[in-house]
């Protein structure tokens, strides 16, 4: 469905029409939210003016794109692979599942002047909602103040971890997908706001610093679309880049504006225990995610040693709510380049301490009347607590500069009560440990 061939002129004409329809639709929808999301509205509104100039000046418009046609096959019908927490589609046993990883994206770059341009990126992939707003991954204005300083405003790619802004561009990295243990925990691809970046070139390396402020949402449920809204989202990133190595440190801090249905119900039920337990009210507040401060920190590094590359990332997630307890995640990659072929080995993990209510809250009144509530409290504390380790080996074959075939096999060991990243049924607290093997085959391309 992806492999249709057009001349560049035909592509430009078609995408120009798509852009006009997409931006108008986005502007109408975002106009209703102008007060809550001013940056996105401004970018979309100004982009209409940009779009009106496109047909008259095609030379200023650059059209590019990327895509992945991938399949995932599992050896089990429990704990199957899914790309992130929000996805309902998963790897099939003894079959080929294309929806979890296949996607196509188009990017439009329009130069308004030497210092100002507009960037729009639209990605169609498997997700709960399919509309203009959901497929608009980026829509921002970029202004170069000086060669060293740059500002952007609008809908920007999420920049929480190192590959957050390129996680869907499979041709940009050797693996079939970015490590699920790090990136599957945060399904959000973009946020609305503004950032400012600074670049300083030294003799042996470049220093870049970027700060972001804005808001957004992320859906952590595969059963229904129940996004958690993140407000007052602030991030700071520092990166050192040289010819054969790089190091990047990122820190993000935000607050959750709401709870999903399950958390809200459990929180209310716990609060009703106040007449029987003096600590019920305080504990109920710790259960809710609403108004809780959430922090994400990541450290990435890579180094090239001839034809070898060693890279890795460590991340830490924490919040004031037991619904999102401290989590330590990471991956280590070793790859070898041989002509047009890249062979790699990858180890990734997600680790969160198992939660037991009787240990964490020994005064909680566990009696026959509250036994079911106690289980639901543990479920809230375990749903976003992931415990799994994955070993992957793979091969990338660059057929052309913009076309690559990839094959990857992975073994994932999942701990009891740590199954939240996998496709599963029932309560997480009822899940036992397990092992899953998955085969991925992918064709990644850009144009």
pLDDT of 187 > 90? The answer is: no
* pLDDT score at 12: 38
Which residues are paired to 155 by β-bridges?
Answer: 139, 192
pLDDT tier, 344 (very low <50, low <70, confident <90, very high otherwise): very high
Question: Would you say 420 and 428 are in contact if contact means Cβ atoms under 8 Å apart?
Answer: yes
Cα separation, 387 vs 325, whole angstroms = 12
pTM of this structure: 0.85
446: nearest Cα among 140, 16, 5, 64 = 64
Cα separation, 428 vs 386, whole angstroms = 10
Tens digit of each residue's pLDDT (9 = 90 or more) over 214-263: 999 887 765 667 788 999 999 999 999 999 999 999 999 999 999 988 89
CATH 3.40.50.280 fits domain 8-446: no
Tens digit of each residue's pLDDT (9 = 90 or more) over 251-295: 999 999 999 888 999 999 999 999 989 999 999 999 999 999 999
Alpha-carbon Rg for the chain, nearest whole angstrom, is 23
* pLDDT score at 396: 98
pLDDT of 202 > 80? The answer is: yes
Compute φ and ψ for 288, nearest 5 degrees.
-70, 145
84: its two tokens: 């992130």
For every residue of 156-205, DSSP letters joined together read: EE--SSTTTTTTT-GGGSSSSS--HHHHTT----EEEEEEEEEEEE-SS-
Average predicted confidence (pLDDT) for the chain: 87
Tens digit of each residue's pLDDT (9 = 90 or more) over 140-174: 999 999 999 999 999 999 899 999 989 999 999 99
Domain boundaries, the chain: 8-446
Name, in order, each residue with C-beta under 8 angstroms of 369's C-beta and a sequence gap of 6 or more: none
Tens digit of each residue's pLDDT (9 = 90 or more) over 345-355: 999 999 999 99
Long-range own/partner contacts, residues 299-304 (CB < 8 A, 24 or more apart): 299/247, 299/248, 299/249, 300/161, 300/162, 300/246, 300/247, 300/248, 300/249, 300/250, 301/245, 301/246, 301/247, 301/248, 302/245, 302/246, 303/244, 303/245, 304/244, 304/245
265: its two tokens: 């119900």
53: nearest Cα among 8, 140, 118 = 118
Cα separation, 89 vs 134, whole angstroms = 17
Distances (CA, A) of 97 to 307, 357, 424: 33, 38, 16
Tens digit of each residue's pLDDT (9 = 90 or more) over 298-318: 999 999 999 999 999 999 999
* pLDDT score at 188: 83
Percentage of the chain beyond pLDDT 90 is: 72
16: nearest Cα among 110, 95, 79, 84 = 110
Mean pLDDT value across residues 396-416: 97
Cα separation, 255 vs 66, whole angstroms = 33
Counting Cα atoms < 13 Å in the Cβ hemisphere of 117 gives 14
Question: Residues 83, 84, 89, 94: what is their CA dihedral angle, to the nearest 10 degrees?
Answer: 40
The strand pair at 61-74 and 92-93 is best described as parallel
């Amino acid at each position: 469905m992806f492999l249709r061939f057009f001349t560049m002129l035909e592509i430009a004409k078609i995408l120009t029409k798509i852009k006009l329809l997409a931006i108008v639709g986005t502007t109408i929808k975002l106009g209703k939210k102008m007060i809550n999301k001013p940056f996105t509205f401004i970018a979309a509104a100004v982009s209409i003016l940009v779009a009106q100039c496109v047909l008259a000046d095609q030379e200023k418009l650059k059209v590019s794109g990327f895509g992945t046609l991938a399949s995932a096959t599992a050896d089990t019908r429990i704990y199957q692979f899914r790309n992130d927490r929000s996805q309902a589609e998963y790897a099939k046993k003894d079959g080929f599942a294309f929806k979890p990883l296949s996607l196509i994206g188009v990017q439009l770059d329009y130069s308004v002047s030497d210092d100002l341009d507009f960037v729009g990126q639209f990605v169609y992939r498997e997700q709960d909602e399919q509309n203009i707003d959901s497929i608009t991954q980026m829509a921002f204005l970029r202004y170069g103040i000086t060669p060293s300083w740059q500002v952007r405003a609008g809908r920007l790619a999420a920049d929480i971890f190192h590959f957050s802004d390129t996680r869907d561009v499979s041709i940009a990295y050797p693996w079939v997908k970015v490590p699920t243990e790090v990136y599957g925990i945060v399904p959000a691809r973009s946020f609305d706001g503004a950032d400012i970046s600074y670049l300083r070139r030294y003799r042996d390396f470049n220093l870049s610093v970027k700060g972001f402020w804005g808001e957004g949402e992320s859906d952590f449920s595969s059963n229904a679309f129940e996004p958690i809204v993140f407000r007052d989202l602030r991030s700071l990133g520092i990166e050192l880049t040289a010819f054969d190595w790089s190091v990047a440190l990122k820190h993000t801090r935000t607050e959750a504006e709401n709870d999903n249905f399950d958390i809200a119900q459990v929180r209310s039920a716990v609060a009703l225990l106040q007449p029987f337990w003096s600590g019920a009210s305080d504990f109920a507040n710790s259960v809710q995610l609403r108004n809780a401060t959430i922090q994400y920190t990541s450290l990435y590094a890579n180094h090239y040693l001839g034809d070898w590359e060693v890279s890795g990332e460590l991340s830490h997630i924490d919040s004031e709510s037991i619904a999102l307890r401290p989590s330590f995640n990471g991956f280590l990659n070793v790859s070898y380049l041989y002509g047009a072929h890249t062979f790699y080995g990858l180890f990734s993990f997600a680790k969160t301490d198992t939660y037991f209510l009787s240990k964490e809250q020994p005064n909680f009144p566990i009696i026959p009347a509250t036994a079911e509530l106690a289980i639901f409290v543990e479920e809230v504390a375990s749903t976003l607590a992931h415990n799994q380790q994955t070993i992957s080996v793979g091969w990338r074959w660059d057929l052309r500069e913009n076309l690559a075939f990839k094959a990857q096999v992975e073994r994932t060991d999942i701990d009891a009560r740590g199954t939240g990243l996998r496709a599963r049924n029932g309560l997480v607290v009822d899940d036992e440990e397990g092992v899953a093997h998955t085969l991925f085959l992918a064709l990644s391309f850009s144009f």
